[in-house]
Chain A
Amino acid sequence: MPLLTIQVNRREYKVEVEATTSLLTVLREHLHITSPKVGCETGDCGACSVLVDSRLRRACLTNALSVQGAEVTTVEDLGEPGDLHPVQKQFYENFASQCGYCTPGMIMATKALLDRNPRPTDKEIKEALSGNLCRCTGYVNIIKAVRAAAEQMASCGGGK
């Protein structure tokens, strides 16, 4: 089987993968990095959103071997208990999560947005998160959290 060399959360991994394997399968089943969730597997729900070379991607629709040598970032790399990334902290403080299944994807989509556009308007926030579904919160608190994260990151000079 072909060998995949990939950087995930600043650590290099070498994995043997089948040609049709998705990045999501590699992350979850080979590397046991489980923040990207298995949702629809058709690209509609956004639960598997990760950054590939700093761009937001669907891990479920990304062929693992097509991102040979790439750098993948998941929520695990952003922060940890006691030292949360501003986006994580504001999702927590603003109750932007209920069941939590969509949250890792939402946080990665938010990070991708704020890295590119540190002061987004509400319209831009909604557009950036349009591909991430949440069936619990009704989105109001999520948008509030994104706004708060943008403010926090601006006030501490671009976040972590």
Chain B
Amino acid sequence: MFDNDFLAPTDLPQACSLLFREMNQAVILAGGTILMARFNRRRPRRRVMIVYLGKLGLDYIRVSGRQVIVGACATLADIAASEEIRSRLPLLGQTCSEMACPAVRNAATLGGNVANGARNADGIPALMALGAKVVVASTTGEEKVSIEEFFARPKAEMLKNGGLIKEFEIPALDADDKWGWLKLKQRQGEGRSVVTAAVRIKMENKVCYDTRLVLGGVAPRPFVSPSAAATLGGRPLSPELIEETAQKAVSETNPLSDARGSAWYRKKVAAVLVRRILGQLA
């Protein structure tokens, strides 16, 4: 048994300098639903210093002009129940209400879902479809990057300066924004997804522009489909166009086979989800 430490910093600069100083031992704890499952499976084989973020007061959800600011430690249950989210970002609200099960949603945080960065993390497709920005705090100050950029950077680079996710800045949906969200999971209470699809399209007289179609669970990371944006741009949604978009988006995937589904199955299902979502918007 190692002499592990547990620290609960109460302000952000303190947390960042702690992470910076203890880089080799620090392990970030927020809701605990991922980290504790890992510890339960196998005790850490080295000394760890748990840095608990729950006392930083990062559990806010607030509106700032056209943006909704969601603190990294806001729980999935709080986000799903939030009036601000329901009225301005229903896509995110629905996502959070369909993740995991009620007891896990009461603890799990959006920041943890993103920071863990699983290939089938549901928070990521939703935030990507909404064009969210991630605010990263570190010893060198705060930086705001798009969520795609956040994942494009090596994690080690961010952690080097004691970086952690502070909040998400998400543009509220407009009246001409159409959105859809579908996920395939194995059963109701075990919410890990097999395949997820999230879409946000600006539509004027049924013509699409500025499409963000995101697929999760079918590549090392959820990704915004470049071909979907190119295919749909400036054209009205028709059954043929939907089929073409689905095929092209699926050709960009690179799924793994695992206990939840084979690569072949995931590709088939991804196409079905895209067809269904776009069909609902047509």
- A positions within 8 Å CB-CB of B: 2, 18-20, 22, 41-44, 46, 49, 55-58, 60-63, 65-66, 68, 109, 112, 126-133
Contacts and interface: CB of A to CB of B under 8 A. Distances in A.
Given A20-B4, A43-B33, A63-B35, 12 more contacts: A19-B48, A20-B50, A41-B37, A42-B40, A44-B189, A46-B103, A61-B37, A62-B36, A68-B8, A109-B103, A112-B102, A128-B102
A139 to B, nearest CB: 11
Identify the interface centre among A22, A44, A65, A68: most chain B CB within 10 Å of its CB. Answer: A44
A20 B48 contact: yes
Contacts, number: 100
B107 A62 contact: yes
Given A2-B6, A66-B54, A132 B189 contact: yes
A130 B107 contact: no
Interface string B36-48: 1101110110001
Contacts of B33: 43, 58, 61
A110 to B, nearest CB: 11
B23 interface: no
Nearest to B75: A55
The 5 closest A-B pairs by CB, nearest first: A131-B101, A130-B189, A19-B4, A19-B6, A41-B40
A66 B33 CA distance: 12
Nearest to B6: A19
A22 B36 contact: yes
Interface residues of B, number: 33
Interface string B101-135: 11110110000000000000000000000000000
B203 interface: no
Contacts of B5: 19
Nearest to A17: B6
A2 B52 CA distance: 14
Interface in B5-45: 5-6, 8, 29, 31-33, 35-37, 39-41, 43-44
A2 B5 CA distance: 8
Contacts of A43: 33, 37, 100-101, 103-104
Contacts of B190: 44, 131
A129 to B, nearest CB: 8
Contacts of A132: 189
A19 B4 CA distance: 6
B4 A131 contact: no
